[in-house]
Structure 1
Amino acid sequence: MDRINRMVLERPVVIFSRSSCCMCHTVKMLFREFGVNPVVHELDEIPRGQEIEQALSRLGRSPTVPAVFIGGELVGGINEVTSLHLNRSLTTCVKRIGAVESSRVAPRPSVCNPTEL
Structure 2
Amino acid sequence: MSSAKTQAQNLIDQNAVMVFSKSYCPYCKSSKDLLSSFDAEFKTVELDDIKDGDAIQAALQEISGQRTVPNIFIGQKHIGGNSDLQALKSQLPELLKAVGASS
Q: Does residue 17 of the first structure (1) align with residue 35 of the second (2)?
A: no
- List aligned pairs for 1:30-41, cutoff 5 A: 30-41=34-45
Deviations 1:17-38 (A, max 9, x none): 0000000000001101101121
SS in 2 for 1:93: helix
Identical aligned pairs, as a percentage?
33
Q: 2:8 aligns with which of 4, 7, 18?
A: 4
TM-score by length of 1: 0.78
SS in 2 for 1:47: coil
Give the superposed CA RMSD: 1.2
Kindly state the Cα deviation for residue 57 of structure 1 after the two structures are TM-superposed: 2.3
Unaligned runs of 5+ in 1: 103-117
- List aligned pairs for 1:1-117, cutoff 5 A: 1-58=5-62, 59-62=64-67, 64-85=68-89, 88-100=90-102, 102=103
Unaligned runs of 5+ in 2: none
CA distance in 1, matches of 2:58, 2:99: 28
Question: Greater Rg, structure 1 or structure 2?
Answer: 1
CA distance in 2, matches of 1:98, 1:7: 16
Moved beyond 4 Å, runs of 4+: none
